[in-house]
Structure 1
Amino acid sequence: MKVYIESYGCTFNQADGQIIAGILQENDVEIVDTIDNADIIIVNSCYVKLPTENRIIHRIQKLQEEYPDKKIIVGGCMVEIDPEKLEKIGPNCSWIGPHQLNKAYDVVNATYCGDVIREYGFSKESKVGVPKLVDDTLIHIIQICEGCLGSCSFCCTRFARGPLNSYPISDIVAEAKEAIENGACEIQLTAQDTAAFGRDSGEKLSTLIKEVANLDGDFRVRVGMMHPKNILNDVDEIIDAIKHPKVYNFIHLPVQSGSDKVLKDMRRGHTIEQYLEVVSKFKNEIPDLTLAVDIIVGYPTESDDDFDLTVKLLEEIKPSLIHLSKYQHRKGALSSSLREIPPKVMKKRSKFLSEIKSKITEDENRELVGTHQNVLVVEKGSKGGFIAKTDSYIPVIVHDAELGTFVDVLITQATATYLKSELLEK
């Protein structure tokens, strides 16, 4: 059997695709890099936003039209969130839900033999220490927990990932150690909400970060997205952990809105005052911190005044990275019963925030022009050269370097999304 896998969406889902590939390879299934060579195509779907949903649906339909002789298996979040639509567009597709990855070979084998088999539903199976097939041995993703403790009104991902299920620190550290010994120079700790880690098991995120960072070797640790409400109880220790020299000075702390009223409507579980308190603590303790935030533009109850508060918040905290999303209804989300704001208003607000985003992030990056940075070279650039990361996880273009090494550079130019550099003489 030959299988082609394409994974969409977040880092967590990319790791799910690696697990599927690893399990199949252990069972003597050949993983191929082109569809033409495959007997079976696996579409590991993302469903977080409407444009992504449309992209997944179009992709499944196109594959069925262009490759009628090949069998298709759909995995990922769509399986759990919208099985009705999946059944409609792909009645002959097999399914493998994100909690059933250990059954990957069974699903593939049955599908190859002509059956339509569908494995879905929740489980407590660990995703740590299981077989993985990775394209990039330098960056290693470890899923530290799955699911969340939230009830955000706009989110459908929680219906796919379920309640919180944290994996043991000892298992995570063991996988990190093996990855580093095999050449990994960046360990990415990922989850739907890393700040929720251990709330169900009695362990702590700060402990996990320190234990991974204290492993032998030259590497960096990136900590994934943290929900503001769940960081509150452990903020000082998490700051202490991120101050470790092997941990990127980086936090991804979504806020979604600058209005307390909208945050309440979103059921976020925190206030702007609490958010600012957390950000202030981090910036005071880690001056070189890179702060990444998420903003939803045009939530159904967002007024002009609420939008102005979001603008004010961004101008106050000056994040280095801003991820903007236009609000759109999602399958099963509570906010989908609300009337969306007029498209013209949505477009105007989104354009305004996009302009502010570019100015803030470029201004933040410009402050680094002329500085010397020790950067970790992690991947080849799509247009030549290499992409490296500063200690604050800011991308830097390096023209001549060796993958997996640290090099000293002079920052020469800045854009809103990356830096340009010249190598310094040793």
Structure 2
Amino acid sequence: MKVYIQTYGCTFNKADAQIIAGVLNENDIDIVDSIEEADIVIVNTCYVKLPTENKVTYQIQQLQEKYPDKKVIVSGCMVEIDPEKLDKIGPNVSWIGPHQLNKSADVVNATYCGEVIRECGFSKESKVCVPKLTDDSLIHIIQICEGCLGACTFCCTRFARGPLNSYPIADIVEEARQAIEDGACEIQLTAQDTAAFGRDSGEKLSDLIKEVANLDGDFRVRVGMMHPKNILNDVDEIIDAMKHPKVYNFIHLPIQSGSDKVLSEMRRGHTIEQYLDIVSKFKSEIPDLTLAVDIIVGYPTETDEDFDLTVELLKNIKPSLIHLSKYQHRKGAISSSLREIPRDVMKKRSKFLSEIKSEITEEENKLLVGTTQKVLVLEKGSKGGFIAKTDSYIPVIVDDVELGSFVDVKITEATATYLKSELL
């Protein structure tokens, strides 16, 4: 029996796919590199945005039409968020819910034999120190917790991932230690909200970061997305932990809007002033910080004045990475009951912000031209050369280096998305 796994979405979802592959591998089920080779195709779905929903829906339908001899299994967020639609487009498709990964082999075996098996529902099953199978030995993803404490009106992911479930620091550190021994040189700590880690268990994110960073070996730690409201009570200790030389000078801190009114209507749980205070503290303590932000363009209650405040905020904080999303209704989300703003207005605002985004990020990257950077080489470039990361987690193109090595480079050119360099 041969299985192909196709994954969509975030780092957390990618780690889920690695767990599914690990469970199958432990049960002597082969993982293959293409649909054509497979007896069964697992589509590991993301449902955070409408375009991604459309992609996974189309793929599930296409697989059934183009490969009627192959079995299809759907995993990921769609299973919990939109089972009605999933059943409609794939009445003979089996399911593996995001909390039922340990049952992956049972679902695959039964599906191969012609049964339709649907494992879903919530569980406190740990996703740390479980079998994983990955094609990237240099980057190791560890899910530190699942679920969140938020009630954001625009989000449907929380319906799939459930309430917060933090995993023990000791287990996370042990998995990181083993990964480093096996050759990993980047440890990614991921969650729907890493700042919520330990709020249910009494442990702290700052302690977790320090314990992982203090492991022996040459590696870097990347801390995933943090909800601003959950940093507020531990900001100083998190900053102290992230000053460790093995931790990337990188923080992903979504803001979504520059308007306090819109943030309140989104139920984000913090103000612009609080957000700016967090950013100011991080930048004062970590001068080379890369700040990544998320912005939702055209939330249903966003006025021209609200949008102007978002533009003003971005020009003020000058993030090095800006992720823009046009607002769209999501299944079960509270804001889906509101009337969307006209599409032409949203398109105009998105285009304007995209231009601002490119100006800001290129301007920030150009400040690094002429500097010397120590970079970690992580992957081969699709157009030649290698892709490395600076200590601030900025991508750098470099030639003639060894994967997994730390090298010194001089930055020679900057674009809005990456740097070019020459080896020293």
> Is the pair's TM-score, using the shorter chain for normalization, greater than 0.5?
yes
Aligned to 2:4: 4
Verify: 1:214 aligned to 2:214, yes or no: yes
* Per-residue CA distance 1:203-262 (angstroms, 9 max, x = gap): 000000000000000000000000000000000000000000000000000000000000
Please state whether the residue corresponding to 1:15 is helix, strand or coil.
Answer: helix
Verify: 1:269 aligned to 2:269, yes or no: yes
Aligned to 1:239: 239
Q: Distance in 2 between matches of 1:57 and 1:248?
A: 36
Displacement after TM superposition at 1:268 (Å): 0.2
Displacement after TM superposition at 1:412 (Å): 0.3
Verify: 1:321 aligned to 2:321, yes or no: yes
* Per-residue CA distance 1:64-86 (angstroms, 9 max, x = gap): 11100000000000000000000
Q: Distance in 2 between matches of 1:38 and 1:258?
A: 48
Verify: 1:362 aligned to 2:367, yes or no: no
Aligned to 2:104: 104
* Per-residue CA distance 1:131-173 (angstroms, 9 max, x = gap): 0001000000000000000000000000000000000000000
Aligned to 1:339: 339
Aligned to 2:49: 49
Q: How does 1:160-175 map to 2 (within 5 A)?
A: 160-175=160-175
Displacement after TM superposition at 1:400 (Å): 1.3
Displacement after TM superposition at 1:324 (Å): 0.2
Aligned to 2:404: 404
Counting aligned pairs with the same residue, the percent is 84
Q: Distance in 2 between matches of 1:256 and 1:34?
A: 37
Q: Distance in 2 between matches of 1:167 and 1:351?
A: 41
* Per-residue CA distance 1:298-337 (angstroms, 9 max, x = gap): 0000000000000000000000000000000000000000
Q: Distance in 2 between matches of 1:4 and 1:407?
A: 36
Aligned to 1:191: 191
Aligned to 1:377: 377
Q: Distance in 1 between matches of 2:380 and 2:47?
A: 29
Amino acid at match of 2:20: I
Displacement after TM superposition at 1:36 (Å): 1.3
Aligned to 1:230: 230
Displacement after TM superposition at 1:37 (Å): 1.3
Aligned to 2:284: 284
Amino acid at match of 1:103: K
Q: Distance in 2 between matches of 1:35 and 1:294?
A: 34
Q: Distance in 2 between matches of 1:31 and 1:322?
A: 35
Q: Distance in 2 between matches of 1:210 and 1:405?
A: 23
Amino acid at match of 1:82: D
Instruction: Name the stretch that deviates more: 325-334 or 35-44.
Output: 35-44
Aligned to 1:73: 73
Aligned to 1:36: 36
Question: Alpha carbon RMSD of aligned pairs, Å?
Answer: 0.3
* Per-residue CA distance 1:43-71 (angstroms, 9 max, x = gap): 00000000000000001111111100000
Q: How does 1:15-34 map to 2 (within 5 A)?
A: 15-34=15-34
Aligned to 2:63: 63
Please state whether the residue corresponding to 2:61 is helix, strand or coil.
Answer: helix
Amino acid at match of 2:87: E
Q: Distance in 2 between matches of 1:105 and 1:409?
A: 46
Displacement after TM superposition at 1:202 (Å): 0.2
Please state whether the residue corresponding to 1:35 is helix, strand or coil.
Answer: coil
Displacement after TM superposition at 1:399 (Å): 1.3
Q: Distance in 2 between matches of 1:400 and 1:259?
A: 47
Amino acid at match of 2:380: K
* Per-residue CA distance 1:260-283 (angstroms, 9 max, x = gap): 000000000000000000000000
Q: Distance in 2 between matches of 1:135 and 1:398?
A: 22
Please state whether the residue corresponding to 1:233 is helix, strand or coil.
Answer: coil
Aligned to 1:145: 145
Q: Distance in 1 between matches of 2:138 and 2:378?
A: 7
Displacement after TM superposition at 1:361 (Å): 0.2
Please state whether the residue corresponding to 2:261 is helix, strand or coil.
Answer: helix
Displacement after TM superposition at 1:41 (Å): 0.5
Please state whether the residue corresponding to 1:221 is helix, strand or coil.
Answer: strand
* Per-residue CA distance 1:97-121 (angstroms, 9 max, x = gap): 0000000011001101100000000
Aligned to 2:126: 126
* Per-residue CA distance 1:344-377 (angstroms, 9 max, x = gap): 1000000000000000000000000000001000
Displacement after TM superposition at 1:34 (Å): 1.3
Displacement after TM superposition at 1:122 (Å): 0.3
Q: Distance in 2 between matches of 1:41 and 1:347?
A: 36
Please state whether the residue corresponding to 2:258 is helix, strand or coil.
Answer: coil
Structure 2 residue runs without a partner (length 5+): none
Displacement after TM superposition at 1:35 (Å): 1.1
Please state whether the residue corresponding to 2:173 is helix, strand or coil.
Answer: helix
Amino acid at match of 1:205: L
Q: Distance in 2 between matches of 1:292 and 1:230?
A: 17
Please state whether the residue corresponding to 2:294 is helix, strand or coil.
Answer: strand
Q: Distance in 2 between matches of 1:67 and 1:173?
A: 43
* Per-residue CA distance 1:283-304 (angstroms, 9 max, x = gap): 0000000000000000000000
Please state whether the residue corresponding to 1:73 is helix, strand or coil.
Answer: strand
Amino acid at match of 1:372: T
